[in-house]
């Protein structure tokens, strides 16, 4: 999944540099934020340096930190958990639902304890659980519901954009995401109070931009106008890209449908714009399939590992059966927005040959 940079971005960067802008965040960043908040339907949007920073700043904006526990899924991109530690709080891992690859609701509900302050609800690859259940639970238990929608730009649930169901949501603009600014992330919320804190925390805690008086502890997670001019052009192409991603997924699904060893995760393409093409195969065949495809010039990538198996969390010594199983069976197929139908056919034919 490579970035899609065209003449529009090149022209916009050139024009910006000729305008002698100061590179750092200013008007272009505001314009980019406005486009994002309109697209997703949120009252406020604040761009920061990365999706990881967006998660940490969102937690900090709610005063979550040392001594607090935050529920995160054991299966996600590792940043979902690391950002909790960056904010100073402790991640508590919960297994996922095999149908959606998102947090399992029953297990989440059971895990809420005295120290739990927040839930990081990851909507992986634009898929979602029954979100209202999480919203209700968060309200009832007074928890901060933070949606990690890093992979969900362009995906909706019941007509409402993912990332706008919780108290706050984040998206990422790193290179492999559906649109990119090289690096970058955004926090969206409808809360004026959170929004004000977020703006301060990303700018050293300043009471307002350009004034050296600090109201809270803050850092530097500021964006740049140089990235924003690229982001603005990328946003203009988002709808086109969302449409193509859905077509690519549908084509793979049709072409691979009758191979018994391949399992697709239930995906409603009306709502979900899959970012990566993901399939499940028998564990004992995955590596051989990857090698077989690799030899024929087709790149693939195994799913993320279960987070608790990675160095920073290995001390946990816990079992998360679904997350472990999914991470061993999952495979990402070529997912570039540039894939042509003929490419998808050739990839699918090669996979079929392997299973024969
Ligand atoms: C990419 C990603 C992140 C981290 O975003 P960065 O911009 O790379 O820091 C967090 N969560 C999920 C689910 C992601 O896919």
DSSP letters spanning 173-188: -STTSSS--SS-EEEE
d(CA 159, CA 181): 27
> Running DSSP on this structure, what letter comes out for residue 234?
H
Stretches where the chain sits below pLDDT 70 are: none
Ligand 1: residue of 53, 79, 86, 184 to mutate (most ligand atoms within 8 A of CB) is 79
* Cα separations in angstroms, 8 against 3, 41, 237, 316, 340: 14, 25, 10, 48, 22
20 CA from centroid of ligand 1 (Å): 32
193 CA from centroid of ligand 1 (Å): 25
pLDDT at 43 (0 to 100):
98
135, 105 contact by CB (below 8 A): no
Q: Is the CB of 77 under 6 A from ligand 1?
A: yes
Q: Is the CB of 122 under 6 A from ligand 1?
A: yes
pLDDT at 317 (0 to 100):
84
Q: Is the CB of 151 under 6 A from ligand 1?
A: yes
d(CA 238, CA 355): 36
276 CA from centroid of ligand 1 (Å): 13
The token duo for 335 is 């997912």
pLDDT at 209 (0 to 100):
85
Q: Is the CB of 147 under 6 A from ligand 1?
A: no
Atom of ligand 1 nearest to the CA of 177: 1
Q: Is the CB of 120 under 6 A from ligand 1?
A: no
Atom of ligand 1 nearest to the CA of 53: 9
pLDDT at 329 (0 to 100):
98
pLDDT at 90 (0 to 100):
97
Q: Is the CB of 50 under 6 A from ligand 1?
A: yes
200, 222 contact by CB (below 8 A): no
Q: Is the CB of 185 under 6 A from ligand 1?
A: yes
pLDDT at 350 (0 to 100):
98
Secondary structure E strands in the chain: 44-48, 69-73, 90-94, 116-122, 144-148, 156-157, 160-161, 168-172, 185-189, 263-264, 277-280, 301-302, 330-333
How do strand 116-122 and strand 301-302 relate by DSSP bridges?
Answer: unpaired
The token duo for 4 is 């899609």
Among candidates 102, 46, 91, which has minimal Cα distance to 65? Answer: 91
């Amino acid at each position: 999944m490579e970035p899609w940079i065209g003449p529009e971005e090149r022209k916009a960067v050139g024009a910006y540099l000729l305008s002698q802008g100061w590179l750092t965040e200013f008007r272009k960043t505001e314009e980019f934020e406005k486009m994002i908040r309109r697209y997703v339907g949120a009252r406020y949007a604040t761009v920061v340096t990365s999706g990881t920073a967006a998660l940490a700043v969102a937690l900090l904006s709610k005063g979550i930190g040392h001594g607090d526990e935050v529920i995160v899924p054991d299966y996600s991109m590792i940043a979902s958990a690391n950002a909790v530690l960056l904010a100073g709080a402790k991640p508590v891992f919960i297994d996922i639902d095999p149908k959606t690859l998102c947090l399992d609701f029953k297990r989440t509900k059971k895990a809420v304890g005295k120290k739990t302050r927040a839930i990081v609800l990851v909507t992986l690859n634009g898929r979602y659980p029954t979100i209202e259940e999480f919203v209700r639970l968060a309200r009832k238990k007074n928890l901060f519901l933070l949606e990690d929608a890093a992979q969900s730009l362009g995906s909706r649930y019941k007509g409402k954009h993912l990332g706008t169901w919780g108290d706050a949501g984040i998206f990422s603009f790193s290179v492999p995401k559906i649109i990119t600014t090289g690096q970058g992330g955004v926090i969206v919320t409808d809360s004026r109070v959170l929004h004000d804190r977020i703006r301060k925390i990303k700018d050293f805690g300043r009471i307002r931009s350009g004034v050296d008086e600090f109201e809270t502890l803050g850092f530097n997670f500021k964006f740049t106008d140089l990235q924003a001019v690229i982001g603005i052009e990328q946003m203009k192409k988002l709808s086109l890209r969302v449409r193509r991603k859905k077509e690519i997924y549908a084509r793979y699904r049709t072409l691979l449908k009758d191979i018994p060893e391949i399992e697709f995760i239930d995906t409603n393409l009306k709502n979900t714009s899959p970012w990566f093409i993901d399939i499940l195969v028998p564990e004992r065949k995955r590596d051989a399939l990857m090698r077989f495809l690799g030899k024929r010039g087709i790149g693939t990538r195994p799913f993320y590992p279960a987070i608790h198996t990675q160095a920073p969390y290995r001390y946990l010594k816990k079992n998360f059966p679904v997350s472990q199983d999914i991470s061993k069976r999952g495979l990402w197929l070529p997912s570039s927005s540039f894939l042509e139908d003929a490419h998808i056919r050739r990839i699918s034919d090669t996979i079929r040959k392997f299973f024969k």
